[in-house]
Amino acid sequence: MRLPFVRPLVRAWRREIDDYATSSRSLPGRSTNQDTSIPRNRIRHRLLPLLEEDYNPSVKRVLLGEAEMLAALADIVDALTAEAAEKE
């Protein structure tokens, strides 16, 4: 069973969020997730820029599309599994 993750900003790019935060008087700008000893941060700060520059400038959009497709597939599998369990 998957946990119900809510990611309201998943379709907003980091630059857009940073721009909004710095232009808003009600949101103080913060620099977070800068520790590249954490693999997720290392991917964001080192690997994704390398992939964009050397391979595909749209790599983030491609990965987002893949993630959405896999999430939809996981929902289908969960529904089919639940349906099969009810029949037993």
Count the residues in the chain: 88
Residues 6+ apart with CB under 8 A from 64: 10, 11
Could you read off the pLDDT of 28-71 as tens digits, one per residue?
655 667 888 889 889 989 999 999 999 999 999 999 899 889 98
Q: Are residues 21 and 27 in contact, defined by beta-carbon separation less than 8 angstroms?
A: yes
- As a whole number of angstroms, the distance between CA 14 and CA 41 comes to 13
> If we measure between CA atoms, which residue out of 62, 58, 34 comes closest to residue 46?
34
**pTM above 0.75?**
no
The pLDDT confidence band at residue 8, using thresholds 50, 70 and 90, is confident
pLDDT at 33: 73
d(CA 40, CA 30) in angstroms, rounded, equals: 18
